[in-house]
A and B are shown apart, each in its own frame.
Chain A
Amino acid sequence: MAGVVKAPAPGAFAITPHKVSLCILVHTYASPSQISVPFPFSSVSQHNRLGLYLLALTKSCDDILEPKLDQLINQLREIGGLLDDWLTDHVTSRLSSLSAPDDLFNFFNELRETLGGPDSGVMDDDQVILDPNSNLGMFLRRCILAFNLLTFEGICHLLTNIGIYCKEAISSSSYEHRLDDSGNDLESLSEYENMDLNLVFKKINEEMEARKKATEQVSFHLHLPKDLSTLVEDVEVFADPKPEHNEKGGESSSYASGDLLRDVDPDGGVFLRTNWQIQGYLMEQADAIEKSSCGRHGSSFTFNAFELTLRQLQKLAPEFHRVHFLRYLNNLYHDEYFSALENLHRYFDYSAGTEGFDFVPPAGSNDFGRFEIALLCLGMMQFHFGHPKRALEVLTEAVLVSQQQCNDTCLAYTLAAICNLLSEIGFSTTSGILGSPFSPMTNVGTSLSVQQQLFVLLNGSLKKAESLKLKQLIAANNLAMAKFGLTHVQRPLLSFGPKISMKLRTCPIVVCKELRSGYHLISDFCCEGSTMTTDGAFSTAWLKNLQKPMGSLVMSQDNGSGNNSNPFLFFTQPSSIPGSVLQLVGSSYLHRATAWEMYGSAPLARVNALVYATCFADASSSSDAVVVHVKLIQHLAAFKGYKEAFAALKIAEEKFLCASKSRILILKLQLLHERALHRGHLKLAQQVCDELGVLASSVTSVDLELKTEASLRHARTLLAAKQFSQAAAVAHSLFCMCYKFNLQVENATVLLLLAEIHMKSGNAVVGLPYALASLSYCQSFNLDLLKASATLTLAELWLSLGSNHSKTALTLLHGAFPMILGHGGLELCARAYITEAKCYLSDPSFSVSDNPELVLDPLRQAADELQALEYHELMAEAFYLMAIVYGKLGQLQQREEAASSFKNHIVALDHPHDADDPFLS
């Protein structure tokens, strides 16, 4: 009842028919005999195999319900090999011999003998005695204890249940061909049974035989119920006992519920597993829901199927409140806002937050409930559904309540959640939300910018997590810190002004340190003994592998020889590291990739992305997986050209069908835009650019990053269309925006673009300061690749100032060359090569005829690289230069070739066509 018995005792252990049959098997396994291999077993390995199987059975948590007898028999068949028949017969005959309460008493007394005494260690080696402290021994002891606690009524119920349990197996095995009728058959049986119980039990064996023989005769009786049901037209006819929930959709759910009620009919003999096993099952399912949420395994995890399981569980154990939480998760990841909200509230109303959470301190310390956890969950839910403002309000309340209740753990998690929220939604929308309520945390005052508040919060959360030794949270916070360190300058908080800004830089070392600390997490988990539930999951996976022919881990021992032909199998077994930890570690790789991308090392970025994609694909959330794909495809586009990138994109699109499509869509638009620009298809470029802009301001909130990118691309398009003043205006307003929201990395890019615009418009002098400013930004943020690119632009600027500056330009260029060639993409390299050639050509002291290869070689390289990008404009330039060089050298044939290529590209630039474009939508 309410209030007093809150969480059920964790060890709730009821004796059920399945456990009785396990006891029978354990008894067989360890029958007290004097020989090392007891009677039915022919070899030690056979004996061991059964032991392993029993161990797995006592721990497995693949469902909420215990397996039926026929399932058990099937598994025995797979495990038992030669012994199969004997074991099956033994179990069934032993079960059916239990016909009176006294038989049960005797059975459990016998069981007790299998257990050794406390001094069992000094027993003879060749005597099989179960250690009472071993897993199986514990299991037996629990069963015996549970039996001893039963009232007489309880024993009667157990007896009835054993009867049903056996009968089901019989009816399903011997009447498989008439499965449709088995439901009715059972009902009629149970009705029969109620009339005179004992008779049925005593005669069960004979009856079974009789039924087998007289299938023909009983058929009339069996079909009678069906005739009856056809008479009743008004009764819903359950013709299809297992509706396809995912296909029928909403209609089937109501239908199914009626069906379910039928399924749960206790006459059917369903029994819950033990509490721990169910908890383990639910935890596994929670992981599965989260993982499959965004479509990767979308089909394998359907809303209704799991909902049915949960409903069944709730019906069987109404006081098991964790169900509501799982239902909340299920709704959450299937975007059912209202029922998610409803179930979240229901769960916390019932459990007061004191059930099922690992980080709840032991009960008794506080009997006021842990409603702050409810707030934390509610906040995260609101955020998930795209109400960041609401989420922040709720989380603020969570901070207050956790402070009041002195729940530091929850406080740490809440702070982490807030940090996550702040960094996710961008800073445009939060201003003004983080108001006075946060002053207890950020007592520096409210004059801080949102970033600064975020930084303070992050630090606070990290410190809390460290002091509480919450490993996962520490790792998550480290990641968040690294992320923050990547994109924001760490300024001293109070002396905030333009004067000292030049001293400030991001610190890659700090970022790397933060990222590295994430790895410790995985080693911590490797060393620690795995927890109860993961242990259970392990066993379950083992049980499932029974079904697969290759899963013959144990079978291979059967041969007696050390047949290690399949050593890899050991590694395919699930590791004992929780999925969430793997996910965290994985995302640290993702962060690394991003970090290297920004710092300008393309190979390292690619390596990290690849590591993530190969090693953590199973554990990753689908959004992370999408990110990694996006990164790899972008890399492909920059280094291998569009053809390959689009091929990869197509694969990715198929892989991520539904929810995370927007990321892929954005990538597609980006690629399309770049290609259109290169091909000179400006109209298309503008169109794609506009589409990007639309995506940036969706209904939920404005994605600042995307918005920046869209207008950056807009400016680029204008530049390509040679509308310089407009391009400059767009770039300028973009710079203002970036400056306002402290998007420093973008600042550098925009400045560089401005420099380029001025250069192209012929105003090299005006362009110079922009390029220099961009350079300094790049320096303070360690953006090496961008810096190289800025240097290149600077060189181009110098060059366009006049031929007397070509030496300066060349020096600059050569300084940047290692970076460009090592890490830059095709376009950047080509540009560098062309600029180099131009420098040489414009240098009055340089004569072509002396050293033609010095010019021709880079030009050829550039032309090759640009081919993949279909960058007509630059290619035309390269061929033009080549033609000139060849002309000077007097190689007329080559000159004509280069000239005709030049012409081709100019024509292609003027008349863009996209006939071969499969991606245009």
Chain B
Amino acid sequence: MSSKESCRNELRTAIRQLSDRCLYSASKWAAEQLVGIEQDPAKFTPSNTRFQRGSSSIRRRFRTNEINSTPPTGVAYVSTPVMEEDEAIHGDFYLLAKSYFDCREYRRAAHVLRDQTGKKSVFLRCYALYLAGEKRKEEETIELEGPLGKSDAVNRELVSVERELSTLSKNNMIDPFGLYLYGLVLKEKGNENLARKVLVESVNSYPWNWSAWSELQSLCTTVDILNSLNLSNHWMKEFFLASVYQELRMHNEALSKYENLQGTFTFSNYLQAQIGKTQYSLREFDQVEVIFEDLLRNDPYRVEDMDTYSNVLYTKEYFSALSYLAHRVIMTDKYRPESCCIIGNYYSLKGLHEKSVMYFRRALKLNKKYLSAWTLMGHEYVEMKNTPAAVDAYRRAVDINPRDYRAWYGLGQAYEMIGMPHYALHYFQKSVFFQPIDSRLWIAMAQCYESEQLHMLEEAIKCYKRAANCNDTEAIALHRLAELHRELGQPEEAAFYYKKDLERMEAEEREGPNTVEALTFLATHYKTQKRFEEAEVYCTRLLDYTGPERETAKSLLRGMRIAQSGFPSMDVEHFHP
């Protein structure tokens, strides 16, 4: 029995169990992965071998699988446990409650199950109550919205649900689904440590509930927390780890996990989308585009994660593709934050910033904590020269997630724009603190230091050095370093950076005014250093260019020849144009 087959069996059972408990999004996720498994297990594709080379934990997992599980019962720890069903009498009530639940009549559902004691019934009752509270909370948030911001609406069912579940868990009368709900409630109440513990317990005893994993993921805000979790091995753990890595900006780790998983779940749209998102964070836009195009072909009505795709299209300035995407998502589901964000991106690309802001606003109305919408809206306000609004938007992004370096960077830019470079420095410093490997941030900070008001060139040089060290694609840093050193009267350092810049331009086969400038400086510099051979090389290269530099090179060469031939220079002034 192949591992794929066992995954498939596990997922099939899990989907039934999950949807029986009305955990729809988890069951949706599981079903997606089920279909994502390659259909023909006999065929060994290259990806399969890659998978076998890969994660040892997965392999181990499946080895134990083969040993322990016997197909008919399959109650081993790893395979899908068959949950004991409630008695038949109560089963009828359960069916009624589930129907109510499916019609979103949560309170009615809970009421039907009021006297039931079976684990399944208890779970569904609590879950229904919880959802009823959530629904009411959302309504109240809108009802109570005051001029000073939202009045704090809370889920009023949390207390009673928590009390019931904690009693059950103390008496060991709780199943993994109950634990998941308990964790959810605890997290909502702010008791994160216990929530983590309960959720870990839940996923360890029933790993197929992706909702539980994602709740757990949202509670793993640092690597230390992640390492402290005591998780049993299961292939679901790989999904979890990948997603945590992605959130923690450990993109390469996330990517390798996802690629490993793709060995089994070759056709999983979820995996594909996640890989796309990770690649986007790594700024591999071409790959992302390919991935999402493929994804859209297979799953044309997908809205999830499409905002990332739109970001790529925006960066690459594909007007029509972006408009096509926007059209498609709006036909699919107009009131999704992602849809609004895509349209916002489209308008932004068209330069219609007011309209763009309107759509970002709508996205934020739908989800107040939609981080990228805040940041993107900030960008729009910057374009509209509405600095206070931009600052406000960025600040909200930063307060939602203080590690969002883009928003810090935006804040810095906004302040620099209104002539407050010193004030802006604070924000640039924050931004490079959270993302020290991005050369653009360092360059921005350096330019801030360089500004007329501050004129702190030493600090600017330090920043440019950092920028040059982290793969400065636009090659600004080296050139500026050279120039700054020259301005500060440090010719040795200037020559060093001009040379580096020159090498780089040669490697990338670029030419321009910078090349000429570098060559001119180097030629003059070596000449004053009396290293005539090197100077001659640069002068000769300069002769390939037209313009005044060519003349300079000529005169330099002439001067050197005179100096080398031992004649005292007659017309020194002439040599220095």
Chain A positions near chain B (C-beta within 8 angstroms):
1-6, 8-9, 12, 14, 151, 153-154, 157, 187, 190-191, 194, 225, 228, 231-232, 234-236, 258, 261, 264-267, 272, 275, 315-320, 341, 345-346, 349-350, 352, 354, 367-369, 371, 374-375, 378, 393-394, 396-397, 400-401, 404, 437
- Given contacts A157-B143, A316-B151, are A3 and B423 in contact (CB under 8 A)? no
Given contacts A3-B389, A191-B159, contact A397 B423 (CB under 8 A): yes
Contact of A228 among B144, B166, B387 (CB under 8 A): B166
**How far apart are A22's CB and chain B's nearest CB, in angstroms?**
19
Interfacial residues of chain B within 245-286, with CB under 8 A of chain A in the complex? none
B153 with A6: CB separation less than 8 A: no
B154: interface (CB < 8 Å):
yes
Of the candidate stretches B4-12, B89-97, B120-128, B189-197, the one touching chain A is B189-197
Q: Is the CB of A157 within 8 A of B144?
A: yes
A-B contacts, 18 listed (Cβ < 8 Å):
A1-B364, A1-B365, A2-B396, A151-B143, A153-B143, A228-B166, A232-B170, A235-B194, A317-B146, A319-B148, A349-B395, A354-B388, A367-B386, A368-B387, A369-B388, A375-B420, A397-B420, A404-B419
In the complex, the answer to whether B415 meets A371 with C-beta atoms within 8 Å is yes
With both beta carbons as reference points, the residue of chain A lying nearest to B364 in the complex is identified as A1
- How many A-B pairs fall under 8 Å by CB? 140
Known interface pairs A3-B392, A9-B147. Does A349 touch B411 (Cβ–Cβ under 8 Å)?
yes
Q: Which residues of A contact B361 (CB under 8 A)?
A: 1
Q: Using CB atoms, name the residue of chain A closest to B161.
A: A191
Contacting residue for A234 out of B150, B160, B197, CB 8 A: B197
B219–chain A nearest beta-carbon distance, Å: 15
Residues of chain A contacted by B388 (CB below 8 angstroms) = 3, 6, 352, 354, 367-369
CA distance A266 to B191 in the complex (A): 18
Say whether A350 contacts B395, CB under 8 Å. Answer: yes
Interface string of B367-391 (1 = CB under 8 A from A): 0000000100100010000111111
Q: Report if B471 contacts A (CB, 8 A).
A: no
Closest to B426 in A: A345
Beta-carbon contact of A194 and B146 below 8 Å:
no
How near does chain A come to B382, taking the closest CB pair, in angstroms? Answer: 12
Residues in A whose Cβ lies below 8 Å from that of B365: 1
Q: Of B139, B166, B418, which one neighbours A368 at CB under 8 angstroms?
A: B418
Q: Is the CB of B421 within 8 A of A397?
A: yes
Report the nearest A residue to B171, measured CB to CB. Answer: A231
Which residues from chain B contact A258 at a C-beta distance below 8 Å? 190-191
Q: State A848–B159 Cα separation when bound (angstroms).
A: 103
Asked if B399 and A14 sit within 8 Å, CB to CB, the answer is no
Contacts of B573 in A (CB 8 A): none
Contact A4 B389, beta carbon cutoff 8 Å: yes
* A264 contacts B152, C-beta separation under 8 Å: yes
Q: Which of B152, B159, B411 contacts A316 (CB 8 A)?
A: B152
Candidate in B381, B391, B395, B421 with the most chain A CB atoms within 10 angstroms: B391
CA distance A266 to B392 in the complex (A): 28
Does B190 contact A190, Cβ atoms closer than 8 Å? no
- Which of A264, A319, A369, A400 is within 8 Å of B147, CB to CB? A319
Residue in chain A with minimal CB distance to B395? A349
Q: Which of B149-189 contact A (CB under 8 A)?
A: 149-154, 156-157, 159-160, 163, 166-167, 170
Identify the B interface with A (CB < 8 A).
139-140, 143-144, 146-154, 156-157, 159-160, 163, 166-167, 170, 190-191, 194, 197, 361, 364-365, 374, 377, 381, 386-396, 399, 411, 415, 418-423, 426-427, 453-454
Q: Looking across the interface, which residue of chain B has its beta carbon closest to that of A236?
A: B191
The answer to whether A318 touches B149, judged by C-beta atoms less than 8 angstroms apart, is yes
Q: Which 7 A-B pairs have the closest CB atoms?
A: A3-B389, A317-B148, A319-B149, A318-B149, A349-B395, A369-B388, A352-B388
A13 CA to B470 CA, complexed, in Å: 54
Chain B residues positioned under 8 Å from A151 (CB to CB): 143
Tell me whether A317 and B453 are in contact in the complex, defined as CB-CB below 8 angstroms, given that A6-B388, A350-B395, A368-B388 are known contacts: no
Contacts of A6 in B (CB 8 A): 388, 392
**B157: chain A residues within 8 A (beta carbon):** 194
What is the bound-complex CA distance between A316 and B394, given in angstroms?
22
Instruction: Compute how far the CA of A911 lies from the CA of B563 in the bound complex, rounded to whole angstroms.
Output: 84
In the complex, what residues of A have CB within 8 A of residue B148's CB?
8, 12, 272, 275, 316-320
Point out the residues of chain A lying under 8 angstroms from B167, CB to CB: 228, 231
> Which residues of B are found within 8 Å of A232, using beta-carbon distances?
166, 170
Residues of B within 8 A of A2 (CB): 374, 377, 381, 389, 392-393, 396
Q: Which of B154, B386, B411 contacts A266 (CB 8 A)?
A: B154
Question: Do A397 and B191 contact each other (CB < 8 Å), given the known contacts A1-B361, A14-B146?
Answer: no
Choose from A4, A157, A369, A437 the contact partner of B387 (Cβ within 8 Å).
A369
Quick one: which of A190, A225, A401 contacts B156, CB cutoff 8 A?
Answer: A190
Which chain A residues border B427 with CB–CB below 8 Å?
Answer: 345
CA distance A258 to B399 in the complex (A): 19
Q: How far is the CA of A341 from the CA of B429 in the complex (A)?
A: 13
CA distance A361 to B391 in the complex (A): 21
User: Known: A3-B389, A266-B154, A320-B148. Contact between A341 and B395, CB under 8 A?
Assistant: no
Contacts of B146 in A (CB 8 A): 12, 14, 317
Shortest distance between the CB of B513 and any CB in chain A (Å) = 31
Set A5, A267, A275, A393: member contacting B422, Cβ < 8 A? A393
Contacts of A235 in B (CB 8 A): 166, 191, 194
B399 / chain A contacts, CB cutoff of 8 Å: 346
Q: B249 to nearest A CB, angstroms? A: 22
Q: What CA separation (Å) do A463 and B453 show in the bound complex?
A: 26
Q: Which residues of A contact B139 (CB under 8 A)?
A: 153
- Supposing A369-B387, A371-B418 touch, asked if A12 and B147 sit within 8 A by C-beta, the answer is yes
Complexed CA–CA distance, A171 and B194 (Å): 31
